[in-house]
Structure 1
Amino acid sequence: MKYIMSLRLLGALPLLWIVACTTTPPNTSTVASDAEINEAIAQVQADAPQQAVVDHAEPDAQAESPPPQADLWARLRSNYALPEVVHKRIDQETDWYARHPGYLNRVAERARPYLYYIVSEAERRGIPAEIALLPVVESAFKPFAYSHGRAAGIWQFIPGTGRMYGLEQNWWYDGRRNVYAATDAALSYLQQLHRDLDGDWMLALAAYNSGGGTVRKAIRRNKRQGKPTDFFSLRLPAETRGYVPRLLAIARIIKDPAAYSLELESIPDTAYFTKVDIGGQIDLALAAELAGMELDELYLLNPGYNRWATAPKGPHYLLVPVDKADTFASKLASLPMDQRMRWAHHKVKSGETLSHIADKYRISIALLKSSNKLRGSFLRKGQNLMIPIAAKSPRTYRLSEEQRTQRTLNAPKSGRHKTIHSVVAGDNFWDIAKRYKVGVRQLAKWNAMAPRDTLPLGKELVIWTRSAQLATHQGPRATPPGSNPVIQRVNYTVRRGDSLARIATRFRVRIADLMRWNTMLSKGKYLQPGQRLKLFVDVTRQSS
């Protein structure tokens, strides 16, 4: 098994003028709560390695490494290179952080597994060390952070810019959350911005937040008016005007915490994780067992993996603590490839569709098709399918995307009543929020989404309303048949290819209501052509 200790990355990619990120204030939206992440990190720290394994390091990487220092914060300070600016915006941000020492301590604890690698990469590229602190501003170092602007990961890449910098995003994997890959992409992007903005790091940081086009437009405006073109002289979006001062304020406090009556917990100046080539797909629970570590810890180092396993098409590597890498690599090398994943055999029954089978096994239709080399959607009775399945129960994978989302959906809200809204054709976040008298961002956050995310037909959204009365007036779901003249009974005959989801979408009702109105239905059984169902539909919501 190839065992890679080097933390070297690819060179800079071509710049595309797309906004990379959005500012993430202390209340950044995230699918995993602070308490969950901090609890997992606390458990990890109990066994944190104190010395890096260097026996397997590539000679050139070992030679280029800086001499070890007692504390990573000291190493960080020694490589500061941004200009020391005195400005009221920086003072305001500094005052806020100084008044909230608990916040900085929590962020520093979350940064512990990742910071050594980021500092090392910044040094290798000749980038000011303060930029290693940028994830504090972007995501508070929350590995599963997801903002209202659809930005993900500690570097907060939006989908388009992430893809342009090689960060793949699919059902299995989101490279924007891969700390190793996203750090490479973020620093490459920043270096390109720095080159294109005449070597000004302050402007490069502003462009990382609001886009290069926005900054260049502001520069052209000031030039026409005969004004200076430094960061503090430009007319930029309010978010960006606070973004760069926030980073400078954090750097100021890290430089001299005692001046603000703060004390930072020491972080050893030694590698926390290393990269191990796994050569193919593997169940993450099995990988954790091979490495002798908790599954939560493995997810925290590899937050890019959405599911119970690594992605079938890569990347084929895992980040593991340096003191566990040898054991993991050795055990993995002796494990046959066909024992890394569990597969179920499924024989297609009459009336089954790809949607039926995908729902049953909790996988995507695309995965079902790719696993069985299916080009179309046609299935024949008796056809044998291979289904990838998790080795453990779903709840074992607590930090998978599915489990994080379920906790978000089920988290109670004090003083509010839970309502379920089934998405129908024409729905969008704005209209739904207006109907239930809630905020658009709030609605998206309750459902682990962003306001610009696509709403699939039939998706059930959780809405927390302040009015119990509002929560009970949702049309067919809560209105007794016959009590409202716009609610009419419909007798429906099942057709070939029908599913509960398809019928619910067609008549704009909920699957749960279909099952309640037709007690013979159960999730374990499939609809048969000719079967008759009764529905109670809101005639005002049916299209012509």
Structure 2
Amino acid sequence: MAGLVLALVLAAPACAGAAEAAPDAAAAPAGTRNGREIYQRFREGLADPTCKADASARWRAHFAHAPRQMASSSDDVLPLFGYVVDSLRAAHLPTEFALIPFVESGYKPGARSPQGPAGLWQMIAITARNHKVPMRAGYDGRLSPIDSTTAAVRYLKTLHGMFAGDWRLAVMAYNAGEYRVLGALKRGGQTARNATPETLPGLSPITHAYVRKLHALSCLLEQADDREEWLQAMDRPVPLLASATVPDNVTDVTTWARRNGQDAARLQRLNPAFVGGRISRTAANPAHLLAIAAAPPAAGAVDTGNAEVVATPDAPEKAADAPVIPAEATIADPEPVPTEAARSATARRHTVVRGDNPSKIAARYGIRVAELLQRNDLHANSRLKPGQILLIDAALAAGEAPRAAAGTP
């Protein structure tokens, strides 16, 4: 089984207050983004967002814990899920693929199976080597969310193209191997463009169930925002993860964390490929960590400024819709003069989700309902649609700073 696995991270607790007190993605602290932004990017990338009431009832019950993991403050799931979603969106792939690690490893980067598969994507050694995942003494790249996700996305992109963009056939091939699925298409007299995957002959029940599992997970997350308490739990700052190159003079995770103001225990959880926190590297494979992007050094930290956080996750392709994560600036760097485009980009926007209304959105951002309606050419009885983008701030004049969201410093 060519299984690959993901790992989910960190869900901060919902504030006991109302949703308007939670920070918006645009106003989130440095190195974070709003959990609802991750959720929205996942939903926008789904190839099949439709769900029937009885769709995959067995597997919906089996994976009912997944939304709770994303909302839990004691789990590392949501930041990792966001990293994988970003990698898939950058490669123009359906975000159903971001659910594979739930099935394979429960989103645990260090997961190992007695049968041999390891990591977020539960790769076996031969699959990892075939997809250029570095494996050597002291370093198993299958346990690196960076190396394994890069390989998984590359492989899924190949399968997605091979099977005419049908995500169901691609995940069946991911589970059983592409040649088995090609053989099933031939035996069934079907082609990838007109296939009905559930009728393909000669494939195991496990392979057929793989599609149902992912669709059940997709439906669980697609409908999770029907519950207000779940939305409030997602409405929080979540670490924004990216690949960081480790300088040659740093030999352990703790030293890198101290120099860059990050939590060493969290970095070790996110990077179990470095056994005991010891950083292994070769000339062909420089060391990199999955770390919080653009996080400022902690007070009292020493030797800062010697690591660069890459702008986007290591994915086969970059795309305009991937988030731009600025590299950490040193104290000596002059403050850039904002361009007109940059000033425009600071204006906050809100993506509508189920349960939103003008009054609730206006209260969240500390503006009047009339302002919100006027800026978006709406009237008092306008119906808001999930996915609709609303402008929160008016166009900013040169030198004017955007207002902070209500309830934020």
Alignment of 1:223 with 2:189, yes or no, is yes
d(CA) in 2 for partners of 1:157, 1:285: 27
Question: Partner letter of residue 145 of structure 2?
Answer: V
In 1, distance between residues paired with 2:44 and 2:237?
Answer: 13
- 1:308 aligned residue: 277
Alignment-derived partner of residue 365 in structure 1: none
| Aligned-residue identity in percent | 25
Structure 1 equivalent of residue 292 of structure 2: 321
1:276 counterpart = 2:244: yes
Cα offset for 1:196? 1.5
- Counterpart among 117, 130, 143 of residue 177 in structure 1: 143
- Contact (CA 8 Å) 1:130, 1:251: kept in 2 or not? yes
Aligned residue in 2 for 1:205: 171
Shift in Å, 1:95: 3.2
CA contact (8 A) 1:167 1:181 kept: yes
**Distance change >3 Å, CA 98–CA 70, structure 1 → 2:** closer
- 1:20 and 2:2 correspond: yes
Decide whether aligned partners of structure 1 residues 118 and 104 sit closer, same or farther in structure 2, where only a CA change above 3 A counts: closer
Match of 1:188 among 139, 154, 166: 154
Tell me which residue corresponds to 2:29: 51
Q: How does 1:3-18 map to 2 (within 5 A)?
A: none
Q: Is contact 1:284-1:309 (8 Å) kept?
A: yes
The reply on whether 1:266 has 2:234 as its aligned counterpart is yes
Equivalent AA in structure 1 for residue 216 of structure 2:
A
- Using a 3 Å threshold, how does the CA distance of structure 1 residues 271 and 324 change in structure 2: closer, same or farther? closer
Go from structure 1 to structure 2 and tell me whether the alpha carbon gap of 1:260 and 1:220 turns closer, same or farther (over 3 Å shift): farther
Q: Which residue of 2 aligns with 1:503?
A: none
Counterpart for residue 299 of structure 1: 268
What code does the residue aligned with 1:290 have?
A: R
State yes or no: 1:237 paired with 2:204. yes
Residues in 2 aligned to 1:81 and 1:295: alpha-carbon distance in whole angstroms? 37
Paired residue type of 1:143? P
Deviation at 1:101?
A: 6.7
Q: In structure 1, which of residues 92, 117, 120 is the aligned counterpart of residue 86 of structure 2? A: 120
The aligned residue for residue 145 of structure 1 is 111
Stretches of structure 1 that go unaligned for 5 or more consecutive residues are 1-18, 25-33, 55-66, 336-544
Rounded to whole Å, the distance in 2 between the matches of 1:266 and 1:329 is: 31
Deviation at 1:143, TM superposition (A): 1.3
State whether residues 93 and 245 of structure 1, in contact with CA within 8 Å, keep that contact through their aligned partners in structure 2: yes
> SS at 2:132's partner residue?
coil
Structure 2: gaps (5+ residues) = 16-22, 308-409
2:92 paired with 1:110: no
User: Greater CA deviation, 200-209 or 130-139?
Assistant: 130-139
1:368-379 → structure 2 map (5 Å cutoff): none
1:21 and 1:163 map into 2 onto residues whose CA distance is 14
Instruction: Quote the Cα distance in structure 1 between the aligned partners of 2:11 and 2:227.
Output: 26
Task: Report matched runs for 1:480-495 at 5 Å.
Answer: none
Aligned counterparts of 1:172 and 1:182: Cα–Cα separation in 2:
16
Equivalent residue for 1:160, pick from 122, 126, 146: 126
1:257 touches 1:263 (CA, 8 Å); kept in 2?
yes
Residue 151 of structure 1: CA displacement? 1.4
1:437 maps to none
1:257 is matched with 224
The match for 1:331 is 303
User: Partner of 2:244: helix, strand, or coil?
Assistant: strand
> Structure 1 residue 289: deviation in Å?
2.7
* Higher normalized contact order (CA 8 Å, seq sep 6+, divided by chain length): 2
Distance 1:279 1:23 in 2: 28
Tell me the TM-score normalized by structure 1.
0.46
Q: Structure 1's 240 and 334: CA in aligned 2 closer, same or farther, altered over 3 A?
A: closer
1:97 paired with 2:69, answer: no
User: For residues 133 and 52 of structure 1, do their structure 2 counterparts lie closer, same or farther at Cα, with a shift above 3 Å needed?
Assistant: farther
- Once the two structures are TM-superposed, the CA of residue 204 in structure 1 deviates from its matched residue by 0.4
Q: Residue by residue, what CA displacement relative to the aligned partner does 1:506-528 show, whole Å, maximum 9, x if unpaired?
A: xxxxxxxxxxxxxxxxxxxxxxx
1:443-458 aligned at under 5 Å gives the runs none
Q: Which whole-Å CA distance do the structure 1 matches of 2:185 and 2:306 have between them?
A: 59
Q: Deviation of residue 51 (structure 1)?
A: 3.1
8 Å CA contact retained: 1:166, 1:185: yes
> Contact between 2:128 and 2:142, CA under 8 Å: does it hold in 1?
yes
Which whole-Å CA distance do the structure 1 matches of 2:135 and 2:185 have between them? 34
How far has the Cα of 1:23 moved from its partner? Answer: 8.7
C-alpha change, 1:234 and 1:325, in structure 2 (3 Å) is farther
Q: Is contact 2:111-2:118 (8 Å) kept?
A: yes
Which is greater in Rg?
A: 1
Change (3 A) 1:254 1:323: same
Q: Quote the residue 2:367 is aligned against.
A: none
Q: Distance in 1 between matches of 2:163 and 2:124?
A: 21
Q: State the 1:197 CA deviation.
A: 1.9
Do the aligned partners of residues 89 and 253 (structure 1) sit closer, same or farther apart at CA in structure 2, a change above 3 Å counting? closer
Preserved contact between residue 52 and residue 271 of structure 1 (Cα < 8 Å)? no
Number of residues of Structure 1 aligned to a counterpart in Structure 2: 288
Cα distance in structure 2, aligned partners of 1:99 and 1:333: 40
Among 100, 111, 127, the alignment partner of 1:134 is: 100
Deviation of 1:212 (Å): 1.0
- SS of structure 1 residue aligned to 2:56: helix
Residue 401 of structure 1 aligns with which residue?
none
CA distance in 1, matches of 2:69, 2:227: 14
